[in-house]
Amino acid sequence: MFLLYRSNASMLMARTTRFVSPNDHFCLPSWARDLKYHFPFPDDRVEPHPYRLFHCIWNVSYLFGSASADFSLQFETLLESPEHQIRRLIVATETEDYGYDRNALTALVTPVPVGRWHEYADDSWFRAHESACEAVLKETLLKPFHE
């Protein structure tokens, strides 16, 4: 299994500058309502900011995806070094002998704006929300596996 993921803040800000709105491209309230039957979080009714809800959902998705993936690649890393990352992907998928034109594949990776999250808030704001969510995740998901 192959996992391509974006950093959470970049992914969110690439889609919308408003968190939970009629134009919510992530359907956060729907995800939260469905997940509450399996996890004691996230609860869109009590989260102090919708970003925390987003981060909890993103993090659970990332944790389960990366645990199942044979190869993971962060989108931003692909943008930074497409030739190297495509080479890693070809090796990981054991398709070196398929004759792929690496230059043509590299040319498919086109720059897109990243880091728009800086327009919304500074790094400390995001880290505060992410740390609070990760503390809940650690308590809920990781603790039973380490006892």
Q: Is 74 helix (H, G, I), strand (E, B) or coil?
A: strand
What is the value of pTM for the model shown? Answer: 0.71
Per-residue pLDDT, averaged over 38-55, amounts to 74
For the chain, the domains span 2-146
Q: What is the pLDDT of residues 5-24, one digit of tens each?
A: 877 655 555 444 445 555 55
Distance between CA atoms of residues 22 and 25, nearest Å: 9
Distance between CA atoms of residues 101 and 60, nearest Å: 36
Distance between CA atoms of residues 140 and 39, nearest Å: 8
Closest CA to 51 of 77, 21, 22: 21
